[in-house]
Amino acid sequence: MESRAHLFKPSAREALDNPDLQQALRRVQAGFVGKRKALVDQFPDFEGLRDRGRAIKDHTLAHLDVYLEQFEARVTEAGGQVHWAETQQEAQQIVVDICRQVSARMVTKGKTMAGEEVQLNEALDAAGVETVETDLGEYIIQLAKEPPSHIIAPAIHKTRQQITDLFNEHHHGTFNDTLREVPDLVNEARGILREKFLSADVGITGANCLVAETGSMFLVTNEGNGDLTHSLPRVHVAIAGIEKLVPTLDDASTVLRLLARSATGQEMTAYTTMVTGPRREADTDGPDAFHVVLIDNGRTRMLGGRFREMLRCIRCGACMNHCPVYAAIGGHAYGWVYPGPMGSVLTPMIVGLDKTRDLPNACTLNGRCQSVCPVRIPLPDLLRDLREAQYDENLTGKPTRYGLGIWAWFALRPRLYAALARVGVGLLGRLGRRRGRFRRLPLASAWTAGRDLPAPQGPTFQAAWRNRRREESR
């Protein structure tokens, strides 16, 4: 999809005013957060597991060239073919060419965020190939012609009524709006998609993990759609970012332990599949050809600098499930494929900092994302670094720059700063005593337009800090 991240502010405002979305977002928090916590609490050493996850990914990234070549050699030995795509266009071309070679008319797709990233569906549409998303959530948003709003629950923003309406319209051509039950909706999609699975020419999936040791890929689903996608058509194409690699099967085990718990709060999803190459000679089912498309699309750029740590990401979605900003506005406001904290780092890195100015700032630096990240990505630090990069590249707005300049001038003069803060805080405290908050403030109307400023209570932070230190030392 084209990035709409430059429209973050108006989109966020719309999201806050959308009652259906707000209702849906409350379910995210209730579901994923609680289930994850229950499992993490009963795991003997989850913190140690996170350390191991980080170490595996760091080691892999430091030897990425070695493991990629090893992976490629193993895939080839198993009868598969590895393709390398530096850009979105190259990735699209590779997949379109594979489809053309087998004269594919219809393609089934398992959920792939890398595929979303390189706009695979748009490219296949343009090439005259029908694509059918088979993950139920992806199928729903494909009917609605919307992008995913969550990386593991793409249709989480949709209510049952909206899904009922979509199914009635697309499956029956009616606009009967009687609300339908969940089993009824799931069954209907099952029936329709079963036909597609059985008649597709090519199946495209993502990959949760690539293993250098064996040239295998792991596919993690609950619905079983990924397995029907890779095992029924004549050709299986897997598409994955180069950072999805791990060295060995044992390392994959660690990643899988982290992934299911962090993503859906399951010890294991219903289906965790390891695919290696196409069907063997004696096999009676499975695809004749197996392709892996390895995607760079900005990742090698991240590898060299401060943002290498972001390449540890295993796409579990825990950061967005725990993010108060995501909880308030949902995924669409972020304007591209990856929402929430991980998206606010990745989108600027891939789409460009100049087109995503608001994303690094849409964060309260509360640190919850970092505290749950299974591979310990310091997301708040990276977001702060992006803000700095924005400042350095002159992408920060003039009022903010002036404001920061003025603040810095005072901050370099601590006594003056403390004195003025004392006067200011005292004044605001007295003025706001009655209501306890300010609806509007001169010179800060942009800030107070969306929120109230609580009136200061008591002394300044610095004074309170000094008093506390003094009491502690007594």
Site for another protein in 6-25 (CB under 8 A): 24
Residues 186-205 that bind another protein (CB under 8 A): 186-187, 190, 193-194, 197-198
Residues 6+ apart with CB under 8 A from 19: none
Q: Of 63 and 355, which CB lies nearer to another protein in the complex structure?
A: 63
Residues 402-431 that bind another protein (CB under 8 A): none
Angle between helices 182-199 and 136-143 (to 10 degrees): 90
What totals of helices (H) and strands (E) does the chain contain, helices first?
Answer: 23, 12
The yes or no reply on residue 70 touching another protein (CB under 8 A) is: yes
Half-sphere exposure of 286 (CA within 13 A, CB side): 13
H or E stretch including 292? strand 289-295
Binding window for another protein (CB under 8 A); candidates: 43-51, 353-361, 402-410, 419-427: 43-51
Locate 142 and state its tokens: 């494909």
The yes or no reply on residue 123 touching another protein (CB under 8 A) is: no
Residue type, 31: G
The yes or no reply on residue 49 touching another protein (CB under 8 A) is: yes
DSSP string, 426-463: HHHHHHTTTTSEES--TT-HHHHTTSPEEPP-SS-HHH
Q: Of 49 and 418, which CB lies nearer to another protein in the complex structure?
A: 49
The yes or no reply on residue 37 touching another protein (CB under 8 A) is: no
Q: In which order are the strands placed within the sheet that holds 81-85? A: 81-85, 289-295, 235-241, 202-205, 106-109, 130-133
Residue in 64, 96, 210, 319 binding another protein, rule: CB under 8 A: 64
Residues linked to residue 209 through DSSP beta bridges, in sequence order: 218
H or E stretch including 424? helix 414-431
The yes or no reply on residue 327 touching another protein (CB under 8 A) is: no
Binding window for another protein (CB under 8 A); candidates: 230-238, 379-387, 389-397, 419-427: 230-238
The yes or no reply on residue 170 touching another protein (CB under 8 A) is: no
Residue in 278, 335, 348, 432 binding another protein, rule: CB under 8 A: 278
Q: Of 56 and 386, which CB lies nearer to another protein in the complex structure?
A: 56
Residue in 5, 12, 15, 56 binding another protein, rule: CB under 8 A: 56
Cα-based distances in Å from 419 to 87, 415, 416, 466:
55, 6, 5, 14
The yes or no reply on residue 28 touching another protein (CB under 8 A) is: yes
Least distance (Å) from another protein to the CB of residue 168? Answer: 14
Number of Cβ within a 10 Å radius of residue 269? 20
Least distance (Å) from another protein to the CB of residue 141? Answer: 10
Convert residues 281-310 into a mask of x (bound to another protein by CB under 8 A) and - (unbound): -xxxxx-------x-x---xx-xxx--x--
The yes or no reply on residue 397 touching another protein (CB under 8 A) is: no
